[in-house]
Amino acid sequence: MTGTKSMSIILHSGDLDKAMAAFILAAGAAAKGMNVTMFFTFWGLGVMKKGGADKSKLSKMNMGGLGTKMMKGVMKKNNVATLTELISDCKELGVRFVACEMTMSLMNVPKEMLISEVTEIGGVGTYLDAASEGHVNLFI
């Protein structure tokens, strides 16, 4: 393997559609052999809470939960992976998950509330170290 490329993603949103995009990109990049770092801040950290991925709602047309339920049904029918499945795939392919320390203290989220796939806690410096080596850096 020569000249391994890197990617970083800040997941700021807790919306289902945006989190899906983030994890699809992360898994795809990892599958292409890239080093991927995902940084979870603000509402994005909620997705990494135990049970958080299942509670995630559509950013538009949620309609009190009905829209999200319908979208999940359509996704299943089209064999699109669930958010939980994509998180697991990312982990298996070596994607680095970093929880934002500031958000954890601000929103009173101790490490125990996060899924076990999140093994790192960091701040803006941790993210910038990854992003400054990144060929693709996204804020979602």
Residues forming contacts to other proteins in the complex (CB under 8 A) are 1-2, 24, 27-28, 30-33, 78-81, 89, 92-93
For 134, list phi and psi in degrees, rounded to 5.
-80, 140
Q: Smaller CB distance to other proteins: residue 1 or 64?
A: 1
**Closest distance of CB 102 from other proteins, Å:** 31
Rounded to the nearest 10°, the torsion over CA 74, 76, 79, 81 is: 110
Q: Smaller CB distance to other proteins: residue 1 or 112?
A: 1
Residue among 73, 94, 78, 72 nearest 19 (CA)? 72
Residue among 112, 117, 136, 94 nearest 40 (CA)? 117
Q: Which residues pair with 121 in a beta bridge?
A: 99
Q: Smaller CB distance to other proteins: residue 23 or 127?
A: 23
Q: Smaller CB distance to other proteins: residue 77 or 112?
A: 77
> Contact, 97 vs 91, CB < 8 A?
yes
Q: Smaller CB distance to other proteins: residue 79 or 108?
A: 79
**Closest distance of CB 118 from other proteins, Å:** 20
**Closest distance of CB 72 from other proteins, Å:** 14
**Closest distance of CB 130 from other proteins, Å:** 20
Tokens (6 digits) for 8: 């970083």
- Report the 10 Å Cβ neighbour count for 54: 12
**Closest distance of CB 101 from other proteins, Å:** 30
